[in-house]
Amino acid sequence: MSVPERPVAPAPTRMPGSTARSVAIALGVVILLFVAIFALKFWPMIVALWSGKGFGERQQPPASVSAVVAEARDWQPTLRAVATLAPVNGVELATEVAGVVSKVDFRSGARVKKGTLLIQIDDSSDRAELAGLEADLAYAKSNLERTESLIERNLASREGLDSAKTALQRAQAAVGSKRALIAKKAIRAPFDGTTGIRNVNVGEYVTAGKLLVGLQDLETLFADFSVPQQQIRSLAAGQPVRVTIDAYPGQAFDGRITAVDSQVDAVTHTLRAQATIANRGRVLRPGMYAIVEAELPALRDAVVVPKTAITYSLYGDSVFVVHEETTADGSSVLKVKRTPVKLGFEHDQEVVVAAGVVAGDRVVTAGQLKLLDSMAVVVADASAEASPAPAPVKN
């Protein structure tokens, strides 16, 4: 007897209405949250719009800046270049022959005259050989005189006379060669100058070519410098220059350009020049770093502004010029305009503006970073902020 199968109850199904209701509630919460955040962030603007004030009526407060008036005055431009000092006469003395040092006859850093014996290399054996060579020379001379006397009496041949003359010439050459060798072993000052620190001691064996001591003429020095090729027309021989050294602040050394190179360097496109300066008190040393300033033709009525007024960028230099505008209600307001400029010579904290600014324009010197074109500004009174100079203190 078969058992009838029990019917299986269907699985309960979720009503689609409940899912849609949950999604709608979540979406509403998100929208309310967004509206609340927007209202909190832009509440002042909403209040302004609700009160009837539009965006066009809102104005930012003017920026506070400092400004000066560009002035026209005569300007003495100078050409500045980095220079290296070199001696007019300078040498590292070396020996041409090897030997043992027998005498050092100077002090390091001493002033010596031309021809002064500085270092002597032992030449005792050479002088002994020279004595023998001089004896040979005396014999050759007497032999030639005797032969000439015999020739006059037809008692000697012409061949004998030629042989005597040749012997005399050889003896003279031998003596001259030995004397030259002895002279090379005496190291003397080739010019007036100041010695350096010696590199040799008495009793030391030196080889040919060894540097013994430096000798520099410190009375007059060269200042070697280079300028860009654009400034070739600004240099000429005889032009006066001033040389300054950071080791002696506030002190300048006068000189003149004595040489200008005949060609421009093909790699750096610079032109070499050389100035000669008088070394007062012999305080300068060759190899020093220096700044050379050459005066150029004066400029008349050049427009000059402080360097702090210039805004430098890759797209060109510019300044902010302050000008006055009249508003709709008849009041006046100061605004700035960014103006491209072309710069000229510089000196200390001032620069010449070749184009872009005219005399009488008021340019911003502080506060440029917060400025935009046509922005309203307030110019601070620099004279009111500046404190009076302190009175000198009497010791």
Map out the domains of the chain with their CATH numbers: 63-75+300-383 (2.40.420.20), 79-88+216-295 (2.40.30.170), 123-184 (1.10.287)
Judge residue 321's burial from the number of C-beta atoms within 10 Å of its C-beta, 0-12 exposed, 13-18 middle, 19 or more buried.
Answer: buried
Q: What is the DSSP string of 117-163?
A: EEEEE--HHHHHHHHHHHHHHHHHHHHHHHHHHHHHTT-S-HHHHHH
226-245 residue pLDDT tens = 998 888 887 888 889 999 99
What average pLDDT is seen over the chain? 83
Which pLDDT tens digits describe the chain residue by residue (395 residues)?
444 555 555 555 554 556 777 777 877 777 887 777 776 666 655 555 555 444 444 556 788 888 888 888 888 778 889 999 999 999 999 999 999 999 999 999 999 999 999 999 999 999 999 999 999 999 999 988 888 888 788 877 888 888 889 999 999 999 999 999 999 999 999 999 999 999 999 999 999 999 999 999 999 999 999 998 888 887 888 889 999 998 888 889 999 999 999 899 999 999 999 999 998 888 999 999 999 988 777 788 888 899 888 888 888 888 889 888 877 777 788 888 888 998 888 877 888 888 888 888 889 988 888 888 888 888 886 443 333 333 333 33
Strand partners, 326: 332
Place of tokens 């005055």: 73
Long-range CB contacts (within 8 A, 24+) of 130-133: 130/175, 130/178, 130/179, 130/182, 133/171, 133/174, 133/175, 133/178
Strand order across the 205-206 sheet: 186-188, 117-121, 99-104, 205-206
- pLDDT, residue 19, reads 73
Count of other CB atoms within 10 angstroms of residue 199: 16
Which residues lie below 8 Å from residue 14, measured CB to CB, with a gap of 6+?
none
